Homo-oligomer: A and B are copies of this chain.
Amino acid sequence: MQDKKLTRREREKLRHRRQMLVAAIELFSEKGYHNVSMHEIAKRAEFAIGTLYKFFKNKEDLYKALIMEKAAEYHRTLIRALSREGDVLTILKNYISAKAGVFADDVATLRLYFAETQGASFNIKAGLDQDIRKLYDELVEQLASTLEKGIRKNVLRDLNPYYTAVALEGITNAFLFCWLEDPERHSYEANAPVIRDIFLKGVVAE
């Protein structure tokens, strides 16, 4: 966050690290973890292979760092959207919109995130699975507790909050996926109202 107090050397190092991560995200997102070699990443980042290994212990480590940094940011944003003051319906609307924001200009990362969370990832890195799932579970719980609040206030119908959260996730991710597959045709932002329309109509009381 605060690069200010770093020496020039340290700032350079951080910049280099970021360059490597950018190259890696691009390649992993284009071709998938197993179809990208460390040499390829190094080349794209314009560093020698040895330099790459100075920054990341090994390929799995690099991948994990990359995924976890992005996932943490994503979840932080969404948790924040759910934590804001206000009535439940507004919070849910904001939440639906916020989902687009995080990856707005970063389809590559979204692809990776989906590959990891939706696609029955196969333990690329032992532990990554667990770590990322923990984040995801936290998010769903938070969403469920928001929904529960709405139910208690009779704003929402009396549905199982957990499964309602799952349903909302399902819908929003489906639209994100549409956008991912063909960003020209399917704008997530433009479709957010559709999501709200269907989902909220399905869950609000009365």
Contact = CB atoms under 8 A, between A and B. Distances in A.
Interface of A: 30-35, 111-112, 114-116, 118-123, 157, 159-160, 163-164, 166-167, 169-175, 177-178, 180, 191, 194-195, 197-203
A171 B159 CA distance: 15
Contacts of A194: 159-160, 163-164, 167
A163 B190 CA distance: 12
Nearest to A122: B32
Given A171-B170, A173-B170, A198 B159 contact: yes
Given A174-B169, A195-B167, A111 B120 contact: yes
Nearest to A30: B122
Nearest to A174: B170
Q: Chain A binding site: helix, strand, loop or mixed by DSSP?
A: helix
Contact of A120 (B114, B123, B157, B175): B114
B118 A122 contact: no
Nearest to A178: B166
21 contacts: A30-B122, A32-B122, A32-B123, A33-B34, A34-B34, A35-B122, A111-B120, A114-B118, A116-B119, A118-B120, A119-B121, A120-B180, A163-B175, A163-B194, A167-B171, A167-B174, A167-B175, A198-B202, A198-B203, A201-B201, A202-B203
